[in-house]
Structure 1
Protein backbone atom coordinates (compact mmCIF):
# COMPACT_ATOMS: atom_id res chain seq x y z
CA UNK A 1 0.00 0.00 0.00
CA UNK A 2 1.21 3.50 -0.88
CA UNK A 3 0.88 6.41 1.51
CA UNK A 4 1.40 10.09 0.72
CA UNK A 5 2.09 12.68 3.40
CA UNK A 6 1.07 16.15 2.21
CA UNK A 7 2.29 19.17 4.17
CA UNK A 8 1.01 22.75 3.92
CA UNK A 9 2.88 25.99 4.54
CA UNK A 10 3.33 28.61 7.26
CA UNK A 11 0.05 30.36 8.26
CA UNK A 12 -1.78 28.09 5.84
CA UNK A 13 -3.70 24.85 5.95
CA UNK A 14 -4.58 21.81 3.83
CA UNK A 15 -6.46 24.10 1.42
CA UNK A 16 -3.09 25.33 0.07
CA UNK A 17 -2.38 21.94 -1.51
CA UNK A 18 -5.98 20.81 -1.99
CA UNK A 19 -5.95 20.77 -5.82
CA UNK A 20 -3.13 18.21 -5.70
CA UNK A 21 -4.52 16.14 -2.84
CA UNK A 22 -7.99 16.00 -4.42
CA UNK A 23 -6.50 14.86 -7.71
CA UNK A 24 -4.59 12.09 -5.94
CA UNK A 25 -7.72 11.02 -4.06
CA UNK A 26 -9.68 10.74 -7.31
CA UNK A 27 -6.98 9.00 -9.34
CA UNK A 28 -5.30 6.63 -6.87
CA UNK A 29 -6.17 4.26 -4.04
CA UNK A 30 -3.37 5.63 -1.85
CA UNK A 31 -3.71 6.59 1.79
CA UNK A 32 -3.34 10.36 2.03
CA UNK A 33 -2.35 12.08 5.26
CA UNK A 34 -2.84 15.86 5.29
CA UNK A 35 -2.18 17.14 8.84
CA UNK A 36 -2.81 20.67 10.06
CA UNK A 37 -0.09 22.15 12.28
CA UNK A 38 -1.05 23.62 15.67
CA UNK A 39 -2.42 27.14 15.30
CA UNK A 40 -2.94 26.76 11.55
CA UNK A 41 -5.95 26.09 9.34
CA UNK A 42 -8.87 28.27 8.27
CA UNK A 43 -8.67 30.22 11.55
CA UNK A 44 -5.18 31.15 12.73
CA UNK A 45 -4.27 30.97 16.42
CA UNK A 46 -0.48 31.12 16.40
CA UNK A 47 0.34 33.02 19.58
CA UNK A 48 2.48 30.98 21.98
CA UNK A 49 3.04 28.07 19.60
CA UNK A 50 6.58 26.97 18.77
CA UNK A 51 8.07 25.71 15.53
CA UNK A 52 8.85 22.39 17.22
CA UNK A 53 5.12 21.79 17.63
CA UNK A 54 4.68 22.13 13.85
CA UNK A 55 7.51 19.68 13.22
CA UNK A 56 6.14 17.26 15.82
CA UNK A 57 2.68 17.24 14.23
CA UNK A 58 4.11 16.40 10.81
CA UNK A 59 6.42 13.78 12.28
CA UNK A 60 3.52 12.15 14.12
CA UNK A 61 1.54 11.99 10.86
CA UNK A 62 4.53 10.46 9.07
CA UNK A 63 5.02 7.75 11.71
CA UNK A 64 1.32 6.90 11.72
CA UNK A 65 1.33 6.63 7.92
CA UNK A 66 4.40 4.40 8.01
CA UNK A 67 2.51 1.94 10.22
CA UNK A 68 -0.17 1.56 7.55
CA UNK A 69 1.90 1.48 4.34
CA UNK A 70 5.01 -0.02 2.80
CA UNK A 71 5.70 2.86 0.38
CA UNK A 72 5.74 6.51 1.44
CA UNK A 73 5.75 9.65 -0.67
CA UNK A 74 6.14 13.12 0.87
CA UNK A 75 4.81 16.32 -0.71
CA UNK A 76 5.56 19.61 1.00
CA UNK A 77 4.58 23.16 0.11
CA UNK A 78 6.61 26.18 1.30
CA UNK A 79 7.41 25.61 5.01
CA UNK A 80 5.94 22.14 4.53
CA UNK A 81 8.71 21.51 2.03
CA UNK A 82 11.30 22.20 4.68
CA UNK A 83 9.55 19.87 7.14
CA UNK A 84 9.11 17.25 4.43
CA UNK A 85 12.79 17.39 3.53
CA UNK A 86 13.69 16.95 7.18
CA UNK A 87 11.46 13.88 7.50
CA UNK A 88 12.89 12.45 4.28
CA UNK A 89 16.42 12.90 5.62
CA UNK A 90 15.61 11.46 9.06
CA UNK A 91 13.42 8.50 8.16
CA UNK A 92 13.68 8.18 4.39
CA UNK A 93 10.89 8.07 1.84
CA UNK A 94 10.37 6.61 -1.61
CA UNK A 95 9.77 9.93 -3.38
CA UNK A 96 9.85 13.58 -2.30
CA UNK A 97 8.12 16.57 -3.88
CA UNK A 98 9.02 20.11 -2.83
CA UNK A 99 6.69 22.91 -3.97
CA UNK A 100 7.99 26.45 -3.40
CA UNK A 101 10.07 25.11 -0.50
CA UNK A 102 11.31 27.96 1.71
CA UNK A 103 15.02 27.31 2.21
CA UNK A 104 15.19 31.04 1.39
CA UNK A 105 12.24 33.41 1.67
CA UNK A 106 11.14 36.82 0.43
CA UNK A 107 11.86 37.79 -3.16
CA UNK A 108 12.23 41.62 -2.92
CA UNK A 109 12.04 42.28 -6.67
CA UNK A 110 8.85 40.31 -7.14
CA UNK A 111 7.35 41.69 -3.92
CA UNK A 112 7.86 45.24 -5.26
CA UNK A 113 6.04 44.29 -8.46
CA UNK A 114 3.18 42.79 -6.47
CA UNK A 115 2.94 45.83 -4.17
CA UNK A 116 2.92 48.13 -7.19
CA UNK A 117 0.08 46.06 -8.63
CA UNK A 118 -1.84 46.34 -5.36
CA UNK A 119 -1.33 50.14 -5.31
CA UNK A 120 -2.47 50.38 -8.92
CA UNK A 121 -5.63 48.44 -8.05
CA UNK A 122 -6.22 50.75 -5.08
CA UNK A 123 -5.97 53.85 -7.25
CA UNK A 124 -8.42 52.43 -9.77
CA UNK A 125 -10.86 51.46 -7.00
CA UNK A 126 -10.49 47.72 -7.58
CA UNK A 127 -8.55 46.82 -4.42
CA UNK A 128 -11.43 44.80 -2.99
CA UNK A 129 -11.21 42.55 -6.07
CA UNK A 130 -7.44 42.13 -5.99
CA UNK A 131 -6.85 38.43 -5.28
CA UNK A 132 -3.31 38.77 -3.92
CA UNK A 133 -4.29 41.57 -1.56
CA UNK A 134 -7.34 39.76 -0.25
CA UNK A 135 -5.44 36.51 0.21
CA UNK A 136 -2.60 37.92 2.26
CA UNK A 137 -4.18 40.82 4.14
CA UNK A 138 -5.91 38.60 6.70
CA UNK A 139 -2.82 36.39 7.09
CA UNK A 140 -0.63 39.39 7.84
CA UNK A 141 -3.16 40.75 10.33
CA UNK A 142 -3.56 37.39 12.13
CA UNK A 143 0.14 36.45 12.30
CA UNK A 144 1.96 37.64 15.45
CA UNK A 145 5.63 38.52 15.15
CA UNK A 146 6.45 35.64 17.51
CA UNK A 147 5.07 33.18 14.94
CA UNK A 148 7.22 34.70 12.19
CA UNK A 149 10.22 34.33 14.49
CA UNK A 150 9.34 30.66 15.01
CA UNK A 151 9.12 30.18 11.25
CA UNK A 152 12.61 31.58 10.83
CA UNK A 153 13.89 29.27 13.57
CA UNK A 154 12.33 26.32 11.78
CA UNK A 155 14.03 27.14 8.49
CA UNK A 156 17.37 27.68 10.22
CA UNK A 157 17.04 24.39 12.13
CA UNK A 158 15.89 22.20 9.23
CA UNK A 159 17.94 23.64 6.38
CA UNK A 160 21.01 21.41 7.06
CA UNK A 161 18.84 18.31 6.55
CA UNK A 162 18.67 19.06 2.82
CA UNK A 163 22.19 17.70 2.37
CA UNK A 164 21.06 14.30 3.69
CA UNK A 165 18.11 13.70 1.35
CA UNK A 166 18.65 10.52 -0.66
CA UNK A 167 15.16 10.03 -2.10
CA UNK A 168 14.25 10.81 -5.73
CA UNK A 169 13.13 14.44 -5.57
CA UNK A 170 10.98 16.74 -7.70
CA UNK A 171 11.35 20.48 -7.01
CA UNK A 172 8.77 22.86 -8.47
CA UNK A 173 9.13 26.64 -8.21
CA UNK A 174 7.05 29.54 -9.50
CA UNK A 175 9.17 32.15 -11.24
CA UNK A 176 6.89 34.99 -10.05
CA UNK A 177 6.93 33.91 -6.40
CA UNK A 178 7.26 36.99 -4.19
CA UNK A 179 7.75 35.05 -0.95
CA UNK A 180 10.19 32.30 -1.94
CA UNK A 181 12.83 33.29 -4.53
CA UNK A 182 14.18 31.08 -7.30
CA UNK A 183 17.49 30.80 -5.47
CA UNK A 184 15.72 28.66 -2.86
CA UNK A 185 14.85 25.99 -5.44
CA UNK A 186 18.32 26.27 -6.99
CA UNK A 187 19.99 25.85 -3.61
CA UNK A 188 17.90 22.79 -2.79
CA UNK A 189 18.61 21.25 -6.18
CA UNK A 190 22.37 21.78 -5.81
CA UNK A 191 22.47 20.56 -2.21
CA UNK A 192 20.39 17.39 -2.38
CA UNK A 193 22.82 14.49 -2.99
CA UNK A 194 20.18 12.27 -4.62
CA UNK A 195 21.16 11.12 -8.10
CA UNK A 196 17.50 11.33 -9.12
CA UNK A 197 16.32 14.92 -8.90
CA UNK A 198 14.49 17.33 -11.17
CA UNK A 199 13.93 21.10 -10.96
CA UNK A 200 10.86 22.42 -12.74
CA UNK A 201 9.99 26.12 -13.10
CA UNK A 202 6.48 27.43 -13.72
CA UNK A 203 6.98 30.73 -15.50
CA UNK A 204 3.75 32.52 -14.53
CA UNK A 205 3.11 31.15 -11.03
CA UNK A 206 3.35 33.05 -7.74
CA UNK A 207 3.69 31.55 -4.28
CA UNK A 208 0.30 29.83 -4.03
CA UNK A 209 1.48 27.54 -6.76
CA UNK A 210 -1.23 24.88 -6.43
CA UNK A 211 -3.95 27.48 -7.09
CA UNK A 212 -2.23 29.51 -9.80
CA UNK A 213 -2.63 29.73 -13.58
CA UNK A 214 -0.32 26.75 -14.25
CA UNK A 215 -2.17 24.46 -11.86
CA UNK A 216 -2.79 21.81 -14.52
CA UNK A 217 0.90 21.67 -15.45
CA UNK A 218 1.87 21.37 -11.79
CA UNK A 219 -0.54 18.50 -11.16
CA UNK A 220 0.66 16.77 -14.32
CA UNK A 221 4.31 17.07 -13.24
CA UNK A 222 3.54 15.78 -9.74
CA UNK A 223 1.43 12.85 -10.92
CA UNK A 224 3.89 11.82 -13.63
CA UNK A 225 6.75 11.87 -11.11
CA UNK A 226 4.85 9.78 -8.58
CA UNK A 227 3.58 7.25 -11.11
CA UNK A 228 6.90 6.64 -12.89
CA UNK A 229 8.76 3.59 -11.63
Structure 2
Protein backbone atom coordinates (compact mmCIF):
# COMPACT_ATOMS: atom_id res chain seq x y z
CA UNK A 1 0.00 0.00 0.00
CA UNK A 2 1.48 3.34 -1.06
CA UNK A 3 0.50 6.41 0.92
CA UNK A 4 0.34 10.06 -0.04
CA UNK A 5 -0.13 12.81 2.51
CA UNK A 6 -1.22 16.37 1.83
CA UNK A 7 -0.53 19.11 4.39
CA UNK A 8 -2.24 22.50 4.07
CA UNK A 9 -1.10 25.61 5.97
CA UNK A 10 -3.28 28.41 7.30
CA UNK A 11 -4.37 31.91 6.28
CA UNK A 12 -1.45 34.39 6.02
CA UNK A 13 0.85 31.46 6.74
CA UNK A 14 3.33 29.30 4.88
CA UNK A 15 4.33 25.63 4.72
CA UNK A 16 6.61 26.35 7.69
CA UNK A 17 3.52 26.28 9.94
CA UNK A 18 3.27 22.50 9.50
CA UNK A 19 6.87 21.74 8.45
CA UNK A 20 7.92 20.35 11.86
CA UNK A 21 5.19 17.71 11.55
CA UNK A 22 6.18 17.04 7.92
CA UNK A 23 9.80 16.52 9.01
CA UNK A 24 8.68 14.13 11.76
CA UNK A 25 6.56 12.06 9.36
CA UNK A 26 9.20 12.00 6.62
CA UNK A 27 11.76 10.66 9.09
CA UNK A 28 9.46 7.78 10.09
CA UNK A 29 7.58 6.83 6.92
CA UNK A 30 8.10 6.31 3.21
CA UNK A 31 5.09 8.45 2.32
CA UNK A 32 5.08 11.08 -0.38
CA UNK A 33 4.19 14.28 1.47
CA UNK A 34 3.05 17.46 -0.29
CA UNK A 35 3.14 20.78 1.58
CA UNK A 36 2.24 23.46 -0.99
CA UNK A 37 2.24 27.24 -0.61
CA UNK A 38 -1.20 28.76 -1.21
CA UNK A 39 -1.31 31.70 -3.66
CA UNK A 40 -0.32 35.02 -2.10
CA UNK A 41 1.03 33.26 0.98
CA UNK A 42 4.53 32.32 2.08
CA UNK A 43 7.28 34.15 3.93
CA UNK A 44 6.54 37.31 1.93
CA UNK A 45 2.80 37.86 1.83
CA UNK A 46 1.27 39.23 -1.36
CA UNK A 47 -2.43 38.60 -0.81
CA UNK A 48 -3.88 41.42 -2.90
CA UNK A 49 -5.70 40.05 -5.93
CA UNK A 50 -5.93 36.50 -4.61
CA UNK A 51 -9.20 34.75 -3.83
CA UNK A 52 -10.18 31.81 -1.65
CA UNK A 53 -11.07 29.72 -4.71
CA UNK A 54 -7.37 29.86 -5.71
CA UNK A 55 -6.34 28.61 -2.29
CA UNK A 56 -8.69 25.65 -2.52
CA UNK A 57 -7.71 24.94 -6.13
CA UNK A 58 -4.00 24.88 -5.28
CA UNK A 59 -4.56 22.37 -2.48
CA UNK A 60 -6.88 20.33 -4.70
CA UNK A 61 -4.32 20.19 -7.52
CA UNK A 62 -1.65 18.94 -5.10
CA UNK A 63 -4.12 16.32 -3.89
CA UNK A 64 -4.93 15.13 -7.41
CA UNK A 65 -1.20 14.69 -8.13
CA UNK A 66 -0.91 12.50 -5.02
CA UNK A 67 -4.02 10.52 -5.95
CA UNK A 68 -2.48 9.62 -9.32
CA UNK A 69 0.41 7.88 -7.56
CA UNK A 70 -1.06 6.49 -4.33
CA UNK A 71 -4.09 4.42 -3.39
CA UNK A 72 -4.28 5.71 0.19
CA UNK A 73 -4.40 9.42 0.99
CA UNK A 74 -4.12 11.16 4.36
CA UNK A 75 -4.74 14.88 4.66
CA UNK A 76 -3.62 17.26 7.40
CA UNK A 77 -4.91 20.81 7.62
CA UNK A 78 -3.86 23.64 9.91
CA UNK A 79 -6.22 26.55 10.75
CA UNK A 80 -7.92 27.63 7.47
CA UNK A 81 -6.08 24.73 5.85
CA UNK A 82 -8.07 22.43 8.12
CA UNK A 83 -11.32 23.62 6.62
CA UNK A 84 -9.94 23.16 3.09
CA UNK A 85 -8.78 19.69 4.13
CA UNK A 86 -12.26 18.79 5.40
CA UNK A 87 -13.79 19.97 2.12
CA UNK A 88 -11.36 17.87 0.05
CA UNK A 89 -11.90 14.86 2.32
CA UNK A 90 -15.64 15.05 1.73
CA UNK A 91 -15.28 15.60 -2.02
CA UNK A 92 -12.78 12.79 -2.66
CA UNK A 93 -13.64 10.37 0.18
CA UNK A 94 -10.11 10.38 1.56
CA UNK A 95 -8.84 7.85 4.08
CA UNK A 96 -7.90 9.88 7.16
CA UNK A 97 -8.25 13.54 8.17
CA UNK A 98 -6.19 15.43 10.75
CA UNK A 99 -7.43 18.89 11.80
CA UNK A 100 -4.93 21.11 13.63
CA UNK A 101 -6.31 24.34 15.15
CA UNK A 102 -8.91 24.19 12.39
CA UNK A 103 -10.78 27.46 11.84
CA UNK A 104 -14.38 26.24 11.90
CA UNK A 105 -14.82 29.18 14.24
CA UNK A 106 -12.23 31.89 14.71
CA UNK A 107 -10.82 34.33 17.27
CA UNK A 108 -10.83 33.38 20.93
CA UNK A 109 -11.35 36.78 22.55
CA UNK A 110 -10.50 35.76 26.15
CA UNK A 111 -7.17 34.23 25.10
CA UNK A 112 -6.47 37.12 22.74
CA UNK A 113 -6.92 39.56 25.64
CA UNK A 114 -4.47 37.49 27.72
CA UNK A 115 -1.94 37.53 24.89
CA UNK A 116 -2.32 41.29 24.43
CA UNK A 117 -1.94 41.90 28.17
CA UNK A 118 1.23 39.78 28.13
CA UNK A 119 2.58 41.88 25.27
CA UNK A 120 1.71 45.11 27.14
CA UNK A 121 3.48 43.79 30.23
CA UNK A 122 6.54 42.87 28.17
CA UNK A 123 6.50 46.30 26.54
CA UNK A 124 6.26 47.95 29.98
CA UNK A 125 9.24 45.90 31.15
CA UNK A 126 11.21 46.66 28.01
CA UNK A 127 11.33 43.06 26.78
CA UNK A 128 8.70 43.12 24.01
CA UNK A 129 11.42 42.18 21.52
CA UNK A 130 11.64 38.83 23.31
CA UNK A 131 7.90 38.09 23.04
CA UNK A 132 7.67 35.29 20.47
CA UNK A 133 3.98 35.84 19.70
CA UNK A 134 4.55 39.56 19.08
CA UNK A 135 7.46 38.85 16.74
CA UNK A 136 5.50 36.26 14.73
CA UNK A 137 2.44 38.43 14.19
CA UNK A 138 4.05 41.87 13.89
CA UNK A 139 5.12 41.24 10.30
CA UNK A 140 1.87 39.46 9.40
CA UNK A 141 -0.27 42.37 10.58
CA UNK A 142 1.84 44.79 8.57
CA UNK A 143 1.77 42.71 5.39
CA UNK A 144 -1.80 41.38 5.40
CA UNK A 145 -4.03 42.91 2.75
CA UNK A 146 -7.24 43.94 4.55
CA UNK A 147 -9.75 42.72 1.99
CA UNK A 148 -8.19 39.26 1.85
CA UNK A 149 -9.53 38.74 5.37
CA UNK A 150 -12.97 38.62 3.76
CA UNK A 151 -11.65 35.90 1.46
CA UNK A 152 -10.59 33.93 4.53
CA UNK A 153 -14.10 34.30 5.98
CA UNK A 154 -15.65 33.25 2.66
CA UNK A 155 -13.38 30.22 2.57
CA UNK A 156 -14.59 29.11 6.00
CA UNK A 157 -18.22 29.74 5.06
CA UNK A 158 -17.85 27.76 1.82
CA UNK A 159 -16.16 24.75 3.41
CA UNK A 160 -18.25 24.47 6.61
CA UNK A 161 -21.25 22.66 5.03
CA UNK A 162 -18.93 19.87 3.83
CA UNK A 163 -18.10 18.90 7.41
CA UNK A 164 -21.37 16.94 7.38
CA UNK A 165 -20.07 14.81 4.51
CA UNK A 166 -16.84 13.63 6.19
CA UNK A 167 -17.08 9.90 6.96
CA UNK A 168 -13.46 8.79 7.42
CA UNK A 169 -11.60 8.63 10.76
CA UNK A 170 -10.81 12.14 12.04
CA UNK A 171 -8.30 13.45 14.58
CA UNK A 172 -8.93 16.96 15.92
CA UNK A 173 -6.13 18.66 17.89
CA UNK A 174 -6.43 22.09 19.48
CA UNK A 175 -4.17 24.20 21.71
CA UNK A 176 -5.84 25.30 24.93
CA UNK A 177 -4.01 28.66 24.75
CA UNK A 178 -5.03 29.38 21.14
CA UNK A 179 -5.87 33.07 20.78
CA UNK A 180 -6.91 32.83 17.13
CA UNK A 181 -9.22 29.81 17.09
CA UNK A 182 -11.29 29.26 20.26
CA UNK A 183 -11.38 25.97 22.15
CA UNK A 184 -15.05 25.58 21.24
CA UNK A 185 -14.02 25.28 17.57
CA UNK A 186 -12.71 21.77 18.20
CA UNK A 187 -15.95 20.79 19.93
CA UNK A 188 -17.92 22.34 17.06
CA UNK A 189 -15.96 20.24 14.55
CA UNK A 190 -16.53 17.09 16.61
CA UNK A 191 -20.25 17.80 16.63
CA UNK A 192 -20.55 18.68 12.95
CA UNK A 193 -18.50 15.79 11.54
CA UNK A 194 -20.56 12.56 11.51
CA UNK A 195 -17.62 10.13 11.31
CA UNK A 196 -17.99 7.16 13.63
CA UNK A 197 -14.28 7.24 14.46
CA UNK A 198 -13.12 10.62 15.73
CA UNK A 199 -10.97 11.90 18.57
CA UNK A 200 -10.46 15.36 20.06
CA UNK A 201 -7.24 16.22 21.87
CA UNK A 202 -6.47 19.47 23.70
CA UNK A 203 -2.82 20.39 24.24
CA UNK A 204 -2.40 22.35 27.47
CA UNK A 205 0.69 24.39 26.53
CA UNK A 206 0.00 25.18 22.87
CA UNK A 207 -1.17 28.41 21.25
CA UNK A 208 -2.35 28.69 17.64
CA UNK A 209 0.90 27.67 15.91
CA UNK A 210 0.48 24.20 17.28
CA UNK A 211 3.27 22.47 15.34
CA UNK A 212 5.72 24.93 16.93
CA UNK A 213 4.27 24.75 20.46
CA UNK A 214 5.66 23.36 23.68
CA UNK A 215 3.46 20.29 23.20
CA UNK A 216 4.61 19.65 19.64
CA UNK A 217 6.23 16.28 20.40
CA UNK A 218 2.97 15.06 21.92
CA UNK A 219 1.15 16.31 18.82
CA UNK A 220 3.53 14.49 16.49
CA UNK A 221 3.14 11.24 18.43
CA UNK A 222 -0.66 11.53 18.44
CA UNK A 223 -0.75 12.10 14.68
CA UNK A 224 1.63 9.19 14.06
CA UNK A 225 -0.48 6.88 16.24
CA UNK A 226 -3.63 7.96 14.44
CA UNK A 227 -2.36 7.45 10.90
CA UNK A 228 -0.69 4.15 11.82
CA UNK A 229 -3.97 2.51 12.78
CA UNK A 230 -5.20 -0.19 10.36
Same fold (TM over 0.5): yes
Q: Deviations over 1:159-216 (max 9, x none)?
A: 1110110110000000110000011110110111110000001011100000000011
Please, what is the CA RMSD of the aligned residues?
0.5
Unmatched 5+ residue regions in structure 2?
Answer: none
- Cα distance between partner residues in 2 of 1:73 and 1:157: 22
Q: Does residue 202 in structure 1 map to residue 200 in structure 2?
A: no
Q: Does residue 131 in structure 1 map to residue 132 in structure 2?
A: yes
Q: Deviations over 1:109-139 (max 9, x none)?
A: 0000000000000000001111000000100
Question: Partner of 1:227 in structure 2?
Answer: 228
- Cα distance between partner residues in 2 of 1:153 and 1:80: 13
Aligned pairs (5 A) from 1:175-186: 175-186=176-187
- Cα distance between partner residues in 1 of 2:93 and 2:40: 27
Unmatched 5+ residue regions in structure 1?
Answer: none
Asked if 2 retains the 8 angstrom alpha-carbon contact of 1:174 and 1:205, the reply is: yes
Question: Partner of 1:158 in structure 2?
Answer: 159
Q: Does residue 118 in structure 1 map to residue 127 in structure 2?
A: no
Question: Partner of 2:8 in structure 1?
Answer: 7
TM-score (norm 2): 0.99
TM-score (norm 1): 0.99
Asked if 2 retains the 8 angstrom alpha-carbon contact of 1:166 and 1:192, the reply is: yes
Misfit runs of 4+, over 3 Å? none
Question: Partner of 1:92 in structure 2?
Answer: 93
- Cα distance between partner residues in 2 of 1:87 and 1:123: 46
- Cα distance between partner residues in 2 of 1:63 and 1:77: 19
SS of the equivalent of 1:145 reads: coil
